[in-house]
């Protein structure tokens, strides 16, 4: 009993110190102020979040993509699928007509929306990671509606590899030729386009497109491998 009272007392003291020393910030400070005041002018992206994620902290974004790649690789290692596993038929419960019909209508819309999200990430909320995840949900719906659907995993690997290499290549070109550094959106020139339009913010739409394709391919590959490893869906 005494121990519980002591623990509760310590917790109360900790929260009291946090509450008593809390100061509400009324304005941005430090680097955040620079991003807010200079971001649109320097990067040309209407979505400031995109400007920060893709350009100012491009190395962090590269790390996030790398983590996702490693996750997909680890899952593939433990599933240990062979080529013949992709061609095998899965014993599964019958899917409903509602699910099959809905998938035929929704899947094209989901893919189109995912592409829209990562192509317009510099203008509206969204970007490569969100758009890629949306595309992967379309693949998940395809698998649910048609468990024995044979996805061309060679194409998935090809899209993933080309997108990843292109993403890194643009970043390296920024380090070599541009003063802006890794993933500079001025890698293709100083003309960033007309602010607020689709063709603006320099290379950001291209970078986010590669990120979106890579994320979508990696998650789709995980879903495909997991499905093919199941005995019953």
pLDDT digits 0-9 by tens, 20-48: 777 777 777 778 788 888 888 888 888 88
Q: How far is the C-alpha of 212 from the C-alpha of 117, rounded, in Å? A: 9
- Asked whether the beta carbons of 231 and 91 are under 8 A apart, the reply is yes
> Which pLDDT score is estimated for 173?
84
pLDDT tens, 45-64?
888 888 888 888 888 888 88
Q: 193 burial class (0-12, 13-18, 19+ CB within 10 angstroms)?
A: middle
Q: How big is the chain by its Cα radius of gyration, in Å? A: 23
CA distances from 158 to 54, 59, 218, 221, 230 (A): 23, 24, 11, 11, 24
- At 196 the three-state DSSP class reads coil
> Which pLDDT score is estimated for 85?
57
Q: How far is the C-alpha of 155 from the C-alpha of 139, rounded, in Å? A: 14
In the chain, what is the straight-line distance between the N-terminal and C-terminal CA atoms, in Å? 51
**Domain residue spans in the chain?**
46-228
pTM of the model: 0.77
Q: How many CB atoms lie within 10 A of CB 160?
A: 20
On the question of pLDDT at 176 being above 90, the answer is no
Scanning the chain, the segments in alpha helix (DSSP H) are 2-20, 31-43, 48-51, 58-79, 83-87, 97-119, 128-145, 153-177, 204-228
- Which percentage of the chain shows pLDDT scores above 90? 14
| Mean pLDDT along residues 205-233 | 81
> Which pLDDT score is estimated for 224?
79
């Amino acid at each position: 009993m005494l121990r519980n009272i002591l623990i509760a007392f310590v917790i109360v003291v900790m929260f009291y110190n946090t509450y008593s020393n809390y100061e509400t910030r009324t304005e941005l400070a430090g680097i955040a102020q620079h991003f807010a005041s200079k971001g649109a002018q320097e990067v040309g992206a209407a979505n400031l979040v995109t400007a920060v994620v893709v350009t100012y902290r491009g190395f962090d974004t590269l790390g996030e993509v790398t983590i996702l790649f490693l996750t997909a690789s680890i899952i593939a290692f433990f599933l240990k699928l062979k080529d013949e596993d992709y061609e095998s038929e899965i014993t599964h419960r019958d899917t409903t007509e509602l699910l099959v019909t809905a998938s035929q209508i929704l899947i094209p819309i989901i893919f189109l929306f995912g592409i829209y999200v990562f192509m317009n990430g510099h203008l509206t909320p969204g970007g490569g990671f969100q758009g890629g995840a949306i595309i992967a949900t379309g693949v998940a719906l395809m698998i649910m509606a048609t468990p024995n659907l044979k996805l061309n995993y060679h194409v998935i690997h090809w899209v993933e590899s080309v997108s990843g290499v292109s993403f890194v290549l643009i970043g390296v070109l920024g380090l070599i030729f541009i003063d802006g550094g890794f993933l500079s959106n001025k890698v293709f020139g100083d003309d960033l386009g007309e602010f607020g339009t689709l063709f603006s913010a320099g290379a950001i739409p291209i970078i986010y497109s590669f990120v979106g394709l890579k994320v979508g391919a990696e998650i789709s590959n995980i879903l495909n491998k997991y499905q093919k490893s199941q005995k019953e869906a």
